[in-house]
Amino acid sequence: MQQTWKTHITPANSAIRIDFKEVWEYRDLIGLFVKRDFTAKYKQTILGPLWAVIQPLMTTVVFSIIFGSLAGLTTSDVAGEALQMPSFLFYMIGTITWSYFSATVTANSNTFITNRAIMGKVYYPRIATPIATALANLISFGIQIVMFCVIALVYALLGLAEIHLSVYMLLLPVLVLQLVMLSTGVGIIISSLTTKYRDLAMLVGFGLHLWQYLTPIPYGLALIPEKYMSLYMLNPVTPVVTTMRLAFFGTGYFNWGYYGLSLVFTAAVFFIGLMLFNRIERTFMDTV
């Protein structure tokens, strides 16, 4: 009687060997990983998932006081144009966007080290782990976006702000997908390198803090002198943040050239990450 095999495990012969059909077949496992990551994040906490709301609120309050009231930094993305939104909403949407990016990069930067036990015992497409991490953080991101919309609606009903939704709202799915790809790509690049160079793990937190202040989150883009704008916009997160604000506020800055460059950079980082991940996953058990 001839046996038929459902799963064929073969050596990787290409730089990028990601069988997305196989990944789809393991969608139930990815769902379990998503549930595990999300519940583990708030396990043994009194407030549980409420921290997904409390954390960005606290950060927004701190930013509003320090950068808004005390430092008096601009909350406009276009020089000479007043942003028609309270500074609290300005800081909140930037904080929510950055929180997702930072959390996903941090979690994925430890993919091999955190999951070495299960990866060393059971076969499954290893890329499922960082995908699950990105999706788990997307749940918190969705909760925070809903919170932002509710607060913005309250501001509007109280007459404290005018809601000007723009056509750039149509770009929101693209912006979210770009955030997922960019944060996952950066995270798995770091994870791949830290299997040999553990010092990088110590620099992730510092690097993300520095990156945050090089992104127009605690201040508006109008603060950047025009002569440095081309250099500043090389940061791929900057067009995402400014476009998010433009989508919700109806006023702000958008440049197709800079945004296109950001998309190209995101795609490059993502595929470089896949190449490194594909290479390291073959031998990481020998070095982790």
Q: Is residue 221 part of a domain?
A: yes
Task: Say what percent of the chain tops pLDDT 90.
Answer: 35
Cα–Cα separations (whole angstroms), residue 233 to 78, 229, 256, 261: 14, 6, 12, 9
| Confidence check: pLDDT of 16 > 80 | no
9, part of any domain: no
- The mean pLDDT value for 189-218 works out to 85
- Asked if residue 174 has pLDDT above 70, the reply is yes
- Is the pLDDT at 266 greater than 60? The verdict is yes
Number of residues written out for the chain: 288
Q: pTM score, two decimals?
A: 0.87
Domain of residue 165, residue span: 49-286
Residues 121-172: pLDDT tens digits? Answer: 777 788 888 999 999 999 999 999 999 999 988 988 887 777 777 888 899 9
Spell out a b/e string for 63-101, using b for 16 or more CB atoms within 10 Å of the CB, else e.
bbeebbeeeebbbbbbeeeebebbbbbbbbbbbbbbbbb
* Arithmetic mean of pLDDT, 35-56: 80
- The span from the CA of 282 to the CA of 272, in Å, is 16
Residue 20 CB coordination number (10 Å): 9
Q: Is the pLDDT of residue 2 over 60?
A: no
Dihedrals phi, psi of 235, to nearest 5 degrees:
-65, 115
> Would you say residue 35 lies in a domain?
no
Q: Residue 231 falls within a domain, yes or no?
A: yes
Between 283 and 236, residue with greater pLDDT: 236
Instruction: Please report whether residue 119 resides in a domain.
Output: yes
Using alpha carbons only, what angle is made at residue 19 by residues 137 and 25, rounded to the nearest 5 degrees?
70
| Domains in the chain, number | 1
Give the SS3 label for residue 125.
Answer: coil
Q: What is the pLDDT of residue 240?
A: 94
Which residues are CB-neighbours of 45 under 8 A, at least 6 positions away?
A: 51
